A and B are shown apart, each in its own frame.
Chain A
Amino acid sequence: MDIRLENLTKIFSEKDSEVRAVDNLDITIPSGKLVGLLGPSGCGKSTTLYMIAGLLNPTSGKIHFGDQDVTELAPEKRGIGLVFQNYALYPHLTVRQNILFPLQNMKVPKAEALERAQKVADLVDIGNLMNRKPKQLSGGQQQRVAIARALVKSPDVLLLDEPLSNLDARLRLQTREEIKRIQRETGITTVFVTHDQEEAMSISDEIVVMKFGVEQQKGAPQEVYNNPVNKFVAKFLGTPPINFFNGEVKNGGLYIGEERILDSKLPNQEVCVGIRPEGFEVAENGSLTVKVEQIEYIGRDKSIVATNPNSENPTFRFIIDADIKGVEVGKYLKGNIKPNKCFAFDKTTESRLQ
């Protein structure tokens, strides 16, 4: 079942001010896909999720589940499962009782309920922990119980609010694969919210990047990464982050300082040039000169921290092959820029030009 948000807006009004948490959001979440709502904190992604869940009422706009308009529908009638950021497992109930809880509300016969609970617990791999209390579980196990509790009533939509934020780094990696597996096995339309771009990119079928309640870009993660529509999206996706330079378009070329790095068909103007860390190819007569300040070896790659008078930040980072010789701290390094890793943005509107 697909989810369609039409001009969804949420305004939180205080006495003398109002905050547009979500502004005219217009997206379709395709059936059976895993979609990540991505953005920095305060961008309205959780608000959007809570509106889909029905815990918050939109100020205006519509929410459709398939053909049904659920905007006015109470949360319990929407057929959703929601996994909270802190899991919200009932501390006084065992894992089994926690998972059974939604089924008991639906008056499912006891034998059937137990069977369903066991099945979903096995799916998320906690079938042997059924008699424990949440306190006796690790963060990752609690997370799985929360997912099991959300899935046990066979919802049409699964919503996850920052599902990995409470886990340590190793568990996070493991759990995100787990979420992907569970989603694939159940084929349930899943929306999850995160501020971690790596997390979103690694498991989502599609991501929606948001900023101040406004959708910036939506698409397959790699597509969004390769073709950001504006400076914000380019900056938000990717680790290490993209590097920005003050550039200029003149004589049919893109310039950083007096160095012509690429051709350009744009009219002459000042632009902001963004170069992905992996977009720099060391070459003796390369088009861009940088001064190496620091070298870090990260396995098969070498990460160099460099300076250039036109960089927006004091330093920036390029990732180059570890085998390349002649890279030394304090020396100048020349390299060519890969055209598909280099973007030009408007100085004022920040939208993508090239």
Chain B
Amino acid sequence: METKKNQWIGWVYLAPAIILMLVFMAFPLIITTIVAFRNDYRIGFGLLQLVYPADGFDGIQSYFAGLNYGFGAFRTVFKNEYFWSYYMVNTLIIVFVSVPLTITLSLLIAVALNSIKKLQKFFQTIFFMPYVTNSIALGMVFAVMFGSNPNGLINSLLISMGNNAIDWLGAATDGNSSALMIRFTGMAVLIIYIVWQALPFKILILLSGLQGIDKQYYQAAQIDGTSKFRTLMRITVPLLSPQIIYLMITSFIGSFKEYNSVVALFNKDGYPVTGANIPYFGTIVLYIYNNVVMMPHVASAAALILFVIILLFTGLNSWISNKFVHY
């Protein structure tokens, strides 16, 4: 009797969360999946058109004909001339460059922060600043820093050292830089921006992980004459592996969904300058977002593709990490 009663109370406590989840997660997920398999769908169609033909119900024959389901939206995505070469490639570059870079850097910074006594809180605050700053504002600061004209901060540094100015973000109108060059420098700046923005949270997590490690391990290592590098690789990293794995999985997922940084640094189409027509810096989410209004079924299909990629990748990730977290 009592367990039954307790269960009932448990469901009541869970209800708000479950209802919100159903409304805002499960329902859109299902609708998105359905819409993705429509060959044609417009915003104005509304929910009913998912089960009814657009022009009303008149006989079973035309019902199925009018439903118009298939893989058309997926075909549209895959046939897009920029989907693979820009949107997908850019996303993969961001994922596989920025995540390892961020985790390595944040680990080194966290270890360094943990080892200093004076000014630790001060530096902790400094490193945490990007986390509490608006990312669009940060993007604008970066855009100014890497400005194409000779007055940009980085360019004026380069010039003062006797180098030529570089069109970092491809925003110059003179058209002197090649497309490849623009893509390379632009992606480099984008990744610097992403890494820099992603550091604070990871430093915070790793630092708290470090502070939880028993100092005696380090004393034992010291007495055995372990070098700094070996201590880091053989003691710190393994003992931090739960935190590192957590950060890996969450930031891989986050990077697959990278969008903000592109909009902040370039513009909402992923073009270096407004009016250009090649999405140099587009990511998958950018592609999804740009198609939402005109072709919701195509956006849904792309979203589903991204979902499957992330799902597979996260599965792989946790399968591998199970082999590395030892305790």
- Where the two chains meet, the residues of A that have a C-beta atom closer than 8 Å to any C-beta of B are 53-55, 75-77, 80-82, 84-86, 88, 90-93, 101-102, 105-106, 133, 135, 149, 153
Contact = CB atoms under 8 A, between A and B. Distances in A.
Nearest to A153: B224
B327 A88 contact: no
B216 interface: yes
Among A81, A85, A86, A91, the one with the most B-chain Cβ atoms within 10 Å of its Cβ is: A91
B193 to A, nearest CB: 35
B225 A88 contact: no
B228 to A, nearest CB: 12
B223 interface: yes
Interface in B204-218: 214, 216-217
Contacts of A133: 326-327
B230 A55 contact: no
Contacts of B327: 91-92, 133, 135
A51 B226 CA distance: 19
B326 A92 contact: yes
Nearest to B222: A75
User: Closest 8 interchain pairs by CB?
Assistant: A76-B225, A88-B216, A102-B224, A92-B238, A92-B326, A88-B220, A91-B327, A75-B223
Which of B222, B224, B230 has the most chain A CB atoms closer than 10 A to its own CB?
B224
Interface of B: 214, 216-217, 219-227, 230, 234-235, 238-239, 241, 326-327
Given A91-B326, A133-B327, A82 B239 contact: no
B222 A76 contact: yes
Nearest to A161: B216
B219 A88 contact: yes
B307 to A, nearest CB: 34
A105 B225 contact: yes
Given A76-B224, A91-B326, A106-B225, 18 more contacts: A53-B223, A55-B219, A55-B222, A75-B223, A82-B219, A84-B216, A84-B219, A88-B214, A88-B217, A88-B220, A90-B220, A90-B239, A92-B238, A93-B238, A101-B224, A102-B225, A105-B224, A149-B220
A53 B216 CA distance: 13
Given A92-B239, A92-B327, A105-B230, A86 B224 contact: no
Contacts of B326: 91-92, 133
16 contacts: A54-B223, A75-B219, A75-B222, A76-B223, A76-B225, A81-B223, A84-B220, A86-B216, A88-B214, A88-B219, A92-B239, A101-B234, A102-B224, A105-B226, A106-B225, A149-B224
A256 to B, nearest CB: 49
Contacts of B219: 55, 75, 82, 84, 88
Contacts of B227: 105
A243 to B, nearest CB: 40
Contacts of A101: 221, 224, 226, 234
B286 to A, nearest CB: 41
A91 B221 CA distance: 13
B181 to A, nearest CB: 46
A224 B259 CA distance: 76
A103 to B, nearest CB: 9
A131 to B, nearest CB: 13
A93 B226 CA distance: 15
A107 to B, nearest CB: 10
Nearest to B226: A105
Nearest to B327: A91
Contacts of B238: 90, 92-93
Nearest to A76: B225
